[in-house]
Amino acid sequence: MATIDDVARAAGVSISTVSYALSGKRSIKESTRNRVLDAAAHLGYLPNASARTLAANRSQIFAVTAPLHPDTDHSAHMVFAMEVTKAARDLDYDTLLLVHNDALDGMKRSAATSLADGIIVLDVDAHDPRADLARQLACPVVFIGVPEDTTGLVCVDLDFEAAAALAVDRLVAAGRKRIGLISHPEETLSRESNFPLRFLHGFERHVAELGIEHVEITPRTHRGLEAVEDVLDAMPDVDGLVLNTNVDVASSVGAALALHGKSVPTDVSVIAAGVTFSTARFPVPFDTIPLDAHASCSAAVEMLARIVETSASLPETTLIPPTYIDQGSVAPAFGHAPTPAR
Amino acid sequence: MATIDDVARAAGVSISTVSYALSGKRSIKESTRNRVLDAAAHLGYLPNASARTLAANRSQIFAVTAPLHPDTDHSAHMVFAMEVTKAARDLDYDTLLLVHNDALDGMKRSAATSLADGIIVLDVDAHDPRADLARQLACPVVFIGVPEDTTGLVCVDLDFEAAAALAVDRLVAAGRKRIGLISHPEETLSRESNFPLRFLHGFERHVAELGIEHVEITPRTHRGLEAVEDVLDAMPDVDGLVLNTNVDVASSVGAALALHGKSVPTDVSVIAAGVTFSTARFPVPFDTIPLDAHASCSAAVEMLARIVETSASLPETTLIPPTYIDQGSVAPAFGHAPTPAR
DNA sequence: GGCTATTTTCGAAGCGCTTCGACGATGGGC
DNA sequence: GCCCATCGTCGAAGCGCTTCGAAAATAGCC
């Protein structure tokens, strides 16, 4: 591999001139800079990563910890890892993958050896041990997800409470008056994943504010059928349904409703909210308020880069406002003149 | 962070002694080595990654290129990426994620900058551009998957031909005489993913050798229903079915057979072969000859480490022998005394 | 033309580690 | 008691880059 010496020799300048010409950190006369650039291009020169890192004390690498729980949706995980990687590349960082059984060790190691300039934490639990570790580490850390105690942390996530409120608003705007919420199965909640609770709170608060009749159920199985039946048992004339649940449950809700003689969107209008998957290929696609991996990941990566590069101190929690994707699963209730949605 | 100097001072030795005590590359008197180890432990010393890399000319990092095609199974991908990462950690390597739109550039960059010691290539097409690139790169590359031209490459994969033969053997051993194969949808084949073809060849060769009546179909949709109907159209009295297809098709094959009055395993015995997904949670679980991510990834990573560390030159292609997982979807045909399976 | 202000380039230190050659100390053989 | 081999340790070079301070070159001004 060509080194900076080769380039310097080829361009007839000193190595510091090459370095400055390439980094732009000091002004170099146009003509010499061009000579340097040409020489570098000719030789296919790329600076040695470790030498650069050692000298500049910056590796241009972010580590990503992506734990795999038994109930983890691998597919969603991959999407997040990929989005982080893409966003990082856009800012000239590479991405190191840290696996679960190694998550804490990996974080310590990549910080202590200066392997990574910063760490992105995925799939955050309410009482995530990585939160405590992050507080001790000298290395900047950004969480995609929000643990219970955010003191001293930097977190990015969808505003789940606002997403829940938006879902309710949309249904109410369509004249829906009896709204069911299908939440995540017990096993996800019990792992103390945080966002289902935040969604639930947002939902409860908002239906209370609006005085809307409602019911919340936690699926006993990974199928939509039982979940829908639980909703119908509790509220036979339900006319609006919010799904903040996993793909297995959500994908079979449409069929379950049909089985009970409820048509979507006429009898029951449905919105999937705070979910990572697309419902576009479901038998019945639903309006969706997505947990947008791209939005969360690029925001998180940009914040991390800012912290690394400017030593900025950022607000503890950044909530990304929800967006709405219309797929035709919400329609005005019979005899209802639609009011403008917020 | 503590440096090697700090450790040397604390232990009252020179830094070279520290280095040798920690690496074991030269013998150091037991007592001094212990002093060094204690000092290092006390200070929480871990060698700076870039300094070590620069001096030793080895980064202890493998890059992984994981392209995402439209028809990519994200979930399978994540599993492979994770398995590579785990296997790499076991050999003291970290894993860098290279995303698709950056795959070739990323490979060049990580090689040219000495960012990575080696590269693992996932999801290989028959005419994968990364194959040509790998031949030019000075950096060792191992493919998980087999392109058409393997000249000068190192590839690891399931032995798909043997997997197909094994599936046929098992069905034949159960007395099945009319065997259908449901392959991958056209869009996967047309991307020139290689393994469906290798599986197909293995299947064709083996049924020909055994003189077994057979039919092969390519699903027109991503549902099992049409695929099963195509099989039944071509071979109404099919009694054995091999699935080398995607999870969407495979998961609905059980229901499709039931719909046509065929019971599994009695009327039709079914084997899923060369697939990454588990059929355990299908409505009807199938016997499986898995494309075992763990086996492929650890083999590939071990080979890559061997090449990096010993400059060994390895055989072009290593095929992993298929294994069989019994889930009860194969049973002796009516009136057939089972013969021992191979 | 001579002086200072500015631009442009260079030299060298140093980032933290590995590794080679060599030196001092110890021990065995005569 | 002396020489040589062996063991244990050290010093220093060097990996390829960034960056600071300063020197050299140029420009601007009276």
With tokens 């030159």, the residue in question is B313
Are the beta carbons of B324 and B289 closer than 8 angstroms? Answer: yes
% of chain B exceeding 90 in pLDDT: 77
Between the CA of B200 and the C1' of D13, what is the distance in angstroms? 60
Q: Which nucleotide is nearest to B19 (CA to C1')?
A: C18
Are B46 and A97 a contacting pair at CB < 8 A? no
Residue B147 has pLDDT above 80, yes or no: yes
Give the HSE-up count for residue B37: Cα atoms under 13 Å, Cβ half-sphere.
11
**Tens digit of each residue's pLDDT (9 = 90 or more) over B98-119:** 987 778 999 999 999 999 999 9
pLDDT category at A340 given cuts 50, 70, 90 is low
Are A97 and B97 a contacting pair at CB < 8 A? yes
- Strand C, nucleotides < 7 Å from a protein CB: these are 7-12, 14-21
Q: Which tokens is A149 given?
A: 């105690």
β-strands B287-290, B213-217: how paired? Answer: unpaired
Mean pLDDT of the A257-271 span: 94
Give A98's strand partners.
Answer: A65
User: Measured from the CB, is A29 under 7 Å from any atom of strand C?
Assistant: yes
Question: What's the CATH number for A4-47?
Answer: 1.10.260.40
pLDDT category at A171 given cuts 50, 70, 90 is very high
pLDDT category at A247 given cuts 50, 70, 90 is confident
% of chain A exceeding 90 in pLDDT: 77
Mean pLDDT of the A115-131 span: 93
User: Measured from the CB, is B54 under 7 Å from any atom of strand D?
Assistant: yes
- Average of per-residue pLDDT values in chain B: 92
CA–CA distance, B173 with B150 (Å, rounded to integer): 35
Residue A211 has pLDDT above 90, yes or no: yes
Residue B208 has pLDDT above 70, yes or no: yes
Residue B236 has a CB neighbour count (10 Å cut-off) of 9
Residue B268 has pLDDT above 70, yes or no: yes
**Tens digit of each residue's pLDDT (9 = 90 or more) over B243-257:** 999 988 998 899 899
Phi-psi domain of B114 (left: phi exceeds 0; alpha: psi -120 through 50; beta: other): left
Note the Cα B140 to chain centre separation in Å. Answer: 18
Mean pLDDT of the A296-307 span: 96
The number of residues making up chain A comes to 342
CA–CA distance, B98 with B106 (Å, rounded to integer): 6
CA–CA distance, B176 with B329 (Å, rounded to integer): 13
Mean pLDDT of the A26-36 span: 93
Give B120's strand partners.
Answer: B64, B142
- A vs B, Cβ pairs < 8 A, gives 116
CA–CA distance, B88 with B299 (Å, rounded to integer): 10
CATH fold for domain A160-290: Rossmann fold (3.40.50)
- pLDDT at res. B280: 87
CA–CA distance, A338 with B161 (Å, rounded to integer): 61
β-strands B141-144, B118-121: how paired? Answer: parallel
Residue B27 has a CB neighbour count (10 Å cut-off) of 9
**Residue B131 phi/psi, 5° resolution?**
-65, -50
Residue A173 has pLDDT above 60, yes or no: yes
The residue among B292 and A70 whose pLDDT is bigger is: B292
Residue B162 has pLDDT above 90, yes or no: yes
- pLDDT at res. B71: 67
CA–CA distance, A315 with B235 (Å, rounded to integer): 66
Mean pLDDT of the A100-109 span: 86
Q: Which tokens is A75 given?
A: 């597919």
Chain B residues with CB-CB distance to A79 below 8 A: 74
Domain extents for chain A?
4-47, 61-158+293-320, 160-290
CA-based torsion, B124, B322, A76, A180: positive or negative: positive
Three-state SS letters, chain A: CCCHHHHHHHHCCCHHHHHHHHHCCCCCCHHHHHHHHHHHHHHCCCCCHHHHHHHHCCCCEEEEECCCCCCCCHHHHHHHHHHHHHHHHHCCCEEEEECHHHHHHHHHHHHHCCCCCEEEECCCECCCHHHHHHHHCCCCEEEECCCCCCCCCCEEEECHHHHHHHHHHHHHHCCCCEEEEECCCHHHHHCCECHHHHHHHHHHHHHHHHCCEEEEECCCCCCHHHHHHHHHHHCCCCCEEEECCCHHHHHCHHHHHHHCCCCCCCCCEEEEEEECCCCCCCCCCCEEEECCHHHHHHHHHHHHHHHHHHCCCCCCEEEECCCCECCCCCCCCCCCCCCCCC
- pLDDT at res. B59: 97
Residue B32 has pLDDT above 60, yes or no: yes
User: Measured from the CB, is A13 under 7 Å from any atom of strand D?
Assistant: no
Q: Which CATH number fits domain B61-158+293-320: 3.40.1170.60, 2.40.50.140, 3.10.20.30, 3.40.50.2300?
A: 3.40.50.2300
Using CA atoms, how far residue B112 sits from A32, A46, B66, B217, in Å, is 24, 6, 19, 45
- pLDDT at res. B334: 80
The radius of gyration of chain A from alpha carbons, rounded to an integer in Å, stands at 25
Residue A329 has a CB neighbour count (10 Å cut-off) of 22
Q: Which residues contact A232 (CB under 8 A, 6 or more apart)?
A: A238, A260
Residue among B172, B287, B185 at smallest CA distance from B239: B172
Residue A342 has pLDDT above 60, yes or no: no
Residue B339 has pLDDT above 60, yes or no: no
Residue B341 has pLDDT above 70, yes or no: no
Q: Which tokens is B164 given?
A: 């197909």
- Average of per-residue pLDDT values in chain A: 92
pLDDT category at A72 given cuts 50, 70, 90 is confident
The residue among A221 and A169 whose pLDDT is bigger is: A169
**Tens digit of each residue's pLDDT (9 = 90 or more) over B51-73:** 999 999 999 999 999 887 766 77
pLDDT category at A85 given cuts 50, 70, 90 is very high
Element (H, E) at B142: strand B141-144
- pLDDT at res. B338: 59
Are B50 and A59 a contacting pair at CB < 8 A? yes
Residue A208 has pLDDT above 70, yes or no: yes
Q: Which of residues 16-35 of B touch strand C (CB under 7 A)?
A: 16, 19-20, 22-23, 25
DSSP conformation letters of B212-258: -EEEEE--SSSSHHHHHHHHHHH-TT--EEEE-S-HHHHHTHHHHHH
Are A96 and B96 a contacting pair at CB < 8 A? yes
pLDDT category at B79 given cuts 50, 70, 90 is confident
- pLDDT at res. A223: 84
pLDDT category at B315 given cuts 50, 70, 90 is confident
A160-290 shares the fold of A4-47: no
Between the CA of A277 and the C1' of C3, what is the distance in angstroms? 74
